[in-house]
C-alpha cells in the first residue's frame, strides 16, 4: 500500500535468469527444488524472486530475497521494482511481484509513515494493472466489494484507491491500529470486486532486527479461480545467505 509511486523497473542483473539452486533433502523432509528469477539492483545489493516446488512438482512457496546490503544505499524517492516470477510458479495465482520502497512511508499518517517496503504479490499482469487508473471515472470499480465468500476474514476496505493497484483492505485488529508501532502487516488489494494482490509490508527498522517471523493469513472462504494460494506469510533473515526473505507459503490448491 502507498499513496503514489513513480514506477521504475531496473534492468541490470548479476545472476542468470531462472537459475536453479541445488535440491536438498533435509532429514524427515521431502525433496524440494527452488527456481529463481533474474536479479536486479536494490540499494547497495540485489533482489530476486523465487518459487519452491515440492517433491510432486507443485508450488509450496513463493517470495523475494534481497541481500543485507540492499537496505542501504536506497533512493531518496519512492520507487517500484518489478520482479517477474519464474515460469515454474505458473500454477500459483500470482503473475509477478512489485517491491515498493517508501523512504518516508505513506498515509495514513501516524501509522505507516515509517521507511518501509511494500511487497505486492500481484495476481494480474503489469498490463492489466495499467487499466487501474483510480480516477474519478474508476471509482465504481474501486468501491465494488467482492462477494462475501471472497473477502478475507475480518478485513475491511479503506476509502479510495491507488493507480495500478486498486482498493486496499486492512485488518483492523492489526497491532498498528491498536496503539502499537508499525513493524510489519498484511494487506489485501481488490479491484472491480476481485482480489488483485496480497501485500506484506515491513519496516527497515524491523528488518534490522533480523526477524524470524511466520504468521497465518486470514483467508477468504473461496477464490474465484482455481490455483495454488498461500496460507501463511514469513519475514526472515538468513544468516548463511546474509539476506532477507519475504515469503508467501503453505501453498494449497483452492
pLDDT, tens only, 56-80: 999 999 999 999 999 999 999 999 9
Domain of 220 in residue numbering reads as 20-126+199-253
Task: Classify residue 52: in a domain, yes or no.
Answer: yes
> Quick check: helix, strand or coil at residue 203?
strand
**Nearest alpha-carbon partner for 42 in 80, 88, 92:** 80
Task: Classify residue 175: in a domain, yes or no.
Answer: no
How confident is the model over 207-247, as pLDDT tens digits? Answer: 999 999 999 999 999 998 999 999 999 999 999 999 999 99
Task: Classify residue 89: in a domain, yes or no.
Answer: yes
Look at residue 25 in the predicted model and tell me its pLDDT. Answer: 40
Look at residue 191 in the predicted model and tell me its pLDDT. Answer: 97
Q: Are 9 and 81 in contact (CB under 8 A)?
A: yes
pTM score, whole prediction: 0.88
Task: Classify residue 150: in a domain, yes or no.
Answer: no
Task: Classify residue 147: in a domain, yes or no.
Answer: no
Look at residue 29 in the predicted model and tell me its pLDDT. Answer: 59
Beta bridge partners of 166: 162
What is the total count of domains within the chain?
1
Task: Classify residue 95: in a domain, yes or no.
Answer: yes
Amino acid at each position: 500500500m502507498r499513496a503514489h509511486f513513480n514506477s521504475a523497473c531496473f534492468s541490470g542483473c548479476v545472476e542468470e535468469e531462472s537459475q536453479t539452486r541445488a535440491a536438498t533433502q533435509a532429514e524427515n523432509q521431502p525433496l524440494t527444488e527452488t527456481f529463481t528469477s533474474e536479479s536486479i539492483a536494490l540499494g547497495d545489493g540485489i533482489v530476486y524472486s523465487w518459487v519452491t516446488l515440492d517433491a510432486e512438482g507443485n508450488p509450496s512457496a513463493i517470495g523475494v530475497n534481497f541481500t543485507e546490503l540492499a537496505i542501504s544505499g536506497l533512493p531518496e524517492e519512492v520507487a517500484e521494482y518489478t520482479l517477474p516470477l519464474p515460469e515454474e510458479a505458473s500454477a500459483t495465482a500470482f503473475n509477478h511481484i512489485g517491491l515498493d520502497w517508501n523512504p518516508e512511508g505513506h498515509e495514513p499518517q501516524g501509522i505507516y509513515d515509517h521507511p518501509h517496503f511494500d511487497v505486492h504479490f500481484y495476481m494480474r499482469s503489469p498490463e492489466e494493472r495499467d487499466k487501474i487508473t483510480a480516477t474519478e471515472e474508476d471509482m465504481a470499480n474501486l468501491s465494488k466489494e467482492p462477494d462475501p465468500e471472497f473477502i478475507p476474514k475480518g478485513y475491511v476496505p479503506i476509502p479510495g484507491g491507488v493507480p495500478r493497484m486498486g482498493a486496499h483492505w486492512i485488518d483492523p485488529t492489526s497491532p498498528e491500529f491498536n496503539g502499537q508501532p508499525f513493524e510489519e502487516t498484511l494487506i489485501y488489494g481488490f479491484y472491480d470486486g476481485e482480489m488483485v494482490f496480497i501485500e506484506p509490508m515491513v519496516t527497515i527498522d524491523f528488518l534490522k532486527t533480523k526477524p524470524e517471523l511466520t504468521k497465518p493469513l486470514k483467508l477468504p472462504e473461496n477464490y474465484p479461480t482455481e490455483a495454488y494460494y498461500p496460507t501463511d506469510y514469513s519475514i526472515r533473515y538468513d544468516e548463511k545467505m546474509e539476506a532477507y526473505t519475504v515469503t508467501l507459503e503453505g501453498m494449497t490448491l483452492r
